[in-house]
């Protein structure tokens, strides 16, 4: 079965490969070495962005990133840079919390919202590759017809991810802090 000029199976495979590559870029960004001061500055910047956070703010931020990833060639570099920079935020939290960055990244990526968000990004970036491929195959018109469906799919993934992320933030922020700390002196 075809969607645009590409078989759905091949499109899905490319999307999954792109998603995994983006996850590796995030992980590599999280492995940078930051000083205490650099990590504090980065966390302060993120804290300012998270003020008055809503599902729509999360969605529009992520959807803007995804739309950039659709751009052939440039979207790969822009998206890669944004994902790498996000990884450095995990590095900053790692410095502040003494939790290995790989754990923080893994926890985020394996959460329902993390999986959906990265699938959306992978789908968007892979479409940028497919636009180039279709242009070389002189089937750009066919791919242009599929583009609105792909954009809608990315929007659906990212909106669902944003709602789940906001739910996670609300649950975490309303829970007593004692649930989130490890106290070896307390017995179960």
Taking only the tens place, the pLDDT of each residue in 115-125 is: 999 999 999 99
Helix (H, G, I), strand (E, B) or coil at 2: strand
Q: What percent of the chain has pLDDT over 90?
A: 75
Residue 6: pLDDT band with limits 50, 70, 90: confident
More confident residue, 49 or 62: 62
**Per-residue pLDDT band at 13 (split at 50, 70, 90):** very high
- Cβ atoms of residues 123 and 68 within 8 Å: no
Q: How far apart are CA 178 and CA 5, in angstroms?
A: 54
Tell me the average pLDDT of the chain: 90
pLDDT: which is higher, 97 or 181? 97
**CA–CA separation, 117 and 154 (whole Å):** 9
H or E element that contains 5: none
pTM, 2 dp: 0.88
DSSP states of 52-112: T--HHHHHHHHHHHHHHHTSTTHHHHHHHHHHHHHHHHHHHHHHHH---HHHHHHHHHTSH
Length of the chain: 188
Binning pLDDT at 50, 70 and 90, where does residue 182 land? very low
Counting Cβ atoms within 10 Å, is residue 152 exposed (0-12), middle (13-18) or buried (19+)? exposed
**Which residue in 65, 63, 66, 60 sits closest to 123, CA to CA?**
66
Tell me the chain's radius of gyration from C-alpha atoms.
19
187: pLDDT strictly greater than 90: no
What local confidence, expressed as pLDDT, does residue 177 receive?
58
Is the pLDDT score of 67 beyond 50?
Answer: yes
Give every CB contact of residue 40 below 8 A, 6+ residues apart in sequence.
92, 96
d(CA 94, CA 139): 47
Nearest Cα residue to 112 out of 61, 65, 165: 165
């Amino acid at each position: 079965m075809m969607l645009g000029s590409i078989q759905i199976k091949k499109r899905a495979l490319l999307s999954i490969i792109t998603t995994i590559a983006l996850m590796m870029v995030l992980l590599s960004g999280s492995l940078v070495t930051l000083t205490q001061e650099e990590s504090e500055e980065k966390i302060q910047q993120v804290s300012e962005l998270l003020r008055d956070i809503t599902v729509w703010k999360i969605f529009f931020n992520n959807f803007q990133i995804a739309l950039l990833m659709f751009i052939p060639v440039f979207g790969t570099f822009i998206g890669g840079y944004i994902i790498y920079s996000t990884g450095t935020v995990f590095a900053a939290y790692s410095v502040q919390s003494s939790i290995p960055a790989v754990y923080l990244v893994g926890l985020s990526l394996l959460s329902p919202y993390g999986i959906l968000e990265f699938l959306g990004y992978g789908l968007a970036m892979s479409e940028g590759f497919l636009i180039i491929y279709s242009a070389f195959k002189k089937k750009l018109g066919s791919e242009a017809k599929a583009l609105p469906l792909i954009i809608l799919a990315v929007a659906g993934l990212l909106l669902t991810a944003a709602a789940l992320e906001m739910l996670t933030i609300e649950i975490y922020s309303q829970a007593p802090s004692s649930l989130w700390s490890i106290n070896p002196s307390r017995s179960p």
